[in-house]
């Protein structure tokens, strides 16, 4: 039979992060949200706890755990503060994992220890004004300049949008996808023998001349998360900053996204569960017409449906993570988990706001933050429509 019970080690981690979220993160969440300030002190404490290093081997300064451990931590953080949770998720999934999965030994040794300790953050620049999920829309270019006697340099030009963790005081690099040439497709793939863009990934250190994180976005939600557009104007980095094999940049990033969707699903599950917990507490305390509103069947049924959504979302990301850790294909399961959990978070946030009434429409309240924060869970790291497309494709449609 399938066993969804957590191991003792995983349960201890979940309990520890839950306590940290409730006792340390939650009390300052409203302040950071209102001020649109990055929670450096929280990030430092998460680094000390080893959360940024959970799936990274000990030889690179990590905890030597698995990706499911990261997902459990994200669920607990997502209950109380999605901005903090996405900072951890993007720091690991988009900052560290491309280096760990595809980096050279020298790149891993140079970058991973500080990332795993939470002393540094890395971003991943994929989305552009004219393209995100569409690789063909990539317009940023990287030209290899081998002129002169020294080693070659990549000369990067273009722009990126919506890049998380790209402009903090501890951001040390951004890995960007860029067109590095063209590849003629074989006749079997395209009968006309047409060419396609060769897309590679290149590490661009913060402070590189010509590379700039532009003014941060004024977002609807995730106000304490760092998000910037990026610009590159003849930004030069060493040839050795190529990450992985030339021409495999987009394909490699898609595999990173598959893992990341499990992490985002865990975060969204936490958000959905947080809305349940807040609603249960409020329903027991709030009185109307001489009784607690939680005694009214209409409120009971609304919260019961919310709990069913959170439970279903949790099972979905557990199942996807189990296949991933077993080394089996998990792309479809990750898409299902992202789809189900993202919608659960948004639906639960809407219903929780209804339970709270006017108090749910006050920005300082945790319910209002979840309502503003949760919409991006149906957009970021693959929209709902992209997940549906992936699922349908697996069905042969």
Report the catalytic residues: 381
Whether the Cβ atoms of residue 284 and residue 237 lie closer than 8 Å to each other: no
- Say how far apart CA 277 and CA 35 lie, in whole Å: 26
What count of other Cβ atoms lies within 10 Å of the Cβ of residue 381?
A: 26
Query: Which residue spans within 267-333 are E strands per DSSP?
Result: 287-288, 291-292
Task: At 50, list the tokens.
Answer: 């080893």
Residue 371 to residue 353: CA distance in whole angstroms = 7
- What six digits make up the tokens of 269? 């599950």
CA dist 390 and 68 (Å) reads 22
Residue 138, φ and ψ in degrees, nearest 5: -65, 125
If you ran DSSP here, which 8-state letter would residue 169 be given? T
How many CB atoms lie under 10 A from the CB of residue 313? Answer: 29
Residue 387 has phi, psi (to 5 degrees) of -65, -40
Token pair listed for 84 = 């903090």
Residues 6+ apart with CB under 8 A from 245: 102
Element holding 11 (H helix, E strand): helix 8-20
- Tokens encoding 38: 């990055």
Parallel, antiparallel or unpaired: strands 121-125 and 171-184? parallel
Q: Which residue has the tokens 């280096």?
A: 99
Q: How far apart are CA 240 and CA 245, in angstroms?
A: 11
Q: Which residues of 133-153 are buried (b: 16+ CB within 10 A; e: fewer)?
A: eebeebebbbeeeeeeeeeeb
H/E element, 352: helix 331-356
166-194 b/e (C-beta count within 10 Å ≥ 16 → b) = bbbebbbbbbbbbbbeeeeeeeeeeeeee
């Amino acid at each position: 039979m399938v066993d969804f019970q957590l191991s003792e080690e995983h349960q201890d981690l979940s309990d520890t992060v839950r306590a940290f979220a409730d006792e340390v993160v939650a009390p300052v969440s409203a302040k950071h949200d209102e001020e649109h300030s990055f929670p450096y002190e929280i990030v430092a404490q998460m680094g000390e706890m080893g959360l940024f290093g959970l799936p990274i081997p000990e030889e690179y300064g990590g905890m030597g755990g698995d990706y499911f451990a990261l997902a459990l931590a994200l669920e607990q953080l997502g209950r109380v503060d999605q901005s903090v949770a996405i900072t951890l998720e993007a720091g690991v999934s988009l900052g560290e994992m491309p280096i760990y999965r595809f980096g050279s030994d020298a790149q891993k040794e140079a970058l991973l220890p500080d990332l795993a300790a939470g002393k540094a953050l890395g971003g991943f620049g994929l989305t552009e004004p004219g393209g995100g999920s569409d690789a063909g829309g990539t317009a940023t270019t990287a030209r290899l300049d081998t002129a002169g006697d020294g080693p070659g340099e990549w000369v990067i030009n273009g722009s990126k949008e919506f890049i998380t963790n790209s402009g903090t005081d501890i951001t040390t690099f951004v890995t960007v996808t860029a067109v590095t040439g063209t590849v003629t497709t074989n006749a079997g793939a395209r009968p006309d023998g047409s060419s396609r863009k060769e897309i590679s990934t290149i590490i661009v250190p913060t402070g590189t001349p010509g590379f700039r994180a532009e003014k941060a976005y004024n977002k609807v939600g995730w106000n304490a998360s760092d998000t910037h557009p990026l610009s590159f104007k003849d930004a030069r980095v060493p040839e050795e900053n190529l990450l992985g094999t030339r021409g495999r940049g987009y394909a490699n990033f898609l595999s990173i996204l598959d893992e990341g969707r499990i992490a985002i699903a865990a975060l969204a599950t936490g958000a959905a569960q947080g809305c349940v917990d807040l609603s249960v507490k409020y329903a027991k305390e709030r009185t109307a017409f001489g009784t607690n509103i939680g005694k009214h069947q209409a409120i009971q049924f609304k919260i019961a449906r919310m709990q069913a959504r959170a439970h279903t979302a949790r099972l979905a990301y557990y199942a996807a993570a189990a296949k991933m850790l077993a080394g089996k294909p998990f792309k479809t399961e990750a898409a299902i988990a992202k789809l189900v959990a993202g919608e659960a978070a948004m639906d639960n946030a809407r219903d929780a706001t209804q339970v709270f009434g006017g108090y749910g429409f006050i920005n300082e309240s945790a319910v209002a933050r979840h309502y503003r924060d949760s919409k991006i869970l149906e957009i970021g790291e693959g929209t709902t429509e992209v997940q549906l497309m992936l699922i349908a494709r697996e069905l042969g449609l």
